[in-house]
Amino acid sequence: MVNKIIYRWLVLLCVFVLTSGLKAQPFNHIQATKLTEFQVYPINGVDLIEPSGLTLKKGTLYTVGDKHRAIYRLDIVDQEAWLSKEQVLHSERDLGVSVLDLEGITTVNDDFVLVSEAHHRLIHVQDNRLRWLPDQGNDLFQSAFDAGLLQLHNAGLEGL
């Protein structure tokens, strides 16, 4: 189990490093920047999470875990990656649900936006409060379902 988690982290870190060199250009004009240096680190942390997404906010890496209701910070210290709980997500208080199954994370205007596979929805995190995106309804799920997607168990949103 621990090896699987470490392996997933290493893959996520490599994907992040490899994709961070792309410049924002029209798709047919994208040229990758040649990697000159990268590092792979073992990951230590407070919880045994399966990382599901990786984002960069103000120079710091963040991730979520699919079975945890928290945002985790990833710090590189002395050739090791350290995972720490940055923010506990109060989904029962704010959203009325206990299970989120988080599968992705990004930032928009310094706020986090998360993917909930269990609810086929996005979650906006602002000032330690959660709200669904959009606030009402779930057109994303309905349009995908009508197109024949998201119809199998565990076949939901897997990234952002």
**Per the domain annotation, does 153 fall within a domain?**
no
Residue 118 lies inside a defined structural domain of this protein: yes
CATH number at residue 6: 2.40.10.500
Res 97 pLDDT > 70: yes
| Domain presence at residue 28 | no
User: What pLDDT is stored for residue 99 in this prediction?
Assistant: 87
The total domain count for the chain is 1
Judged by average pLDDT, the poorest of 19-23, 46-50, 51-55, 95-99 is: 19-23
Give the per-residue pLDDT at 72. 93
pLDDT, tens digit (0-9, with 9 covering 90-100), for 54-78: 899 999 999 998 788 899 999 988 8
Mean pLDDT, residues 108-120 taken together? 89
> Which string of DSSP letters, residue by residue, matches the chain?
-HHHHHHHHHHHHHHHHHHHT-----GGG--PPPP-------EEESS---B---EEETTEEEEEBTT-SEEEEEEEETTEEEEEEEEE--HHHHHS-S---EEEEEEETTEEEEEETTTTEEEEEETTEEEEESSS--HHHHHHHHTT-S-STT-S----
* Residue 8 falls inside a structural domain: yes
Is there a domain that residue 160 lies in? no
The pLDDT, as a whole number, for residue 18 is 46
Examine residue 117 and state whether it is found in any structural domain, yes or no.
Answer: yes
Domain containing 59 equals: 2-23+39-146
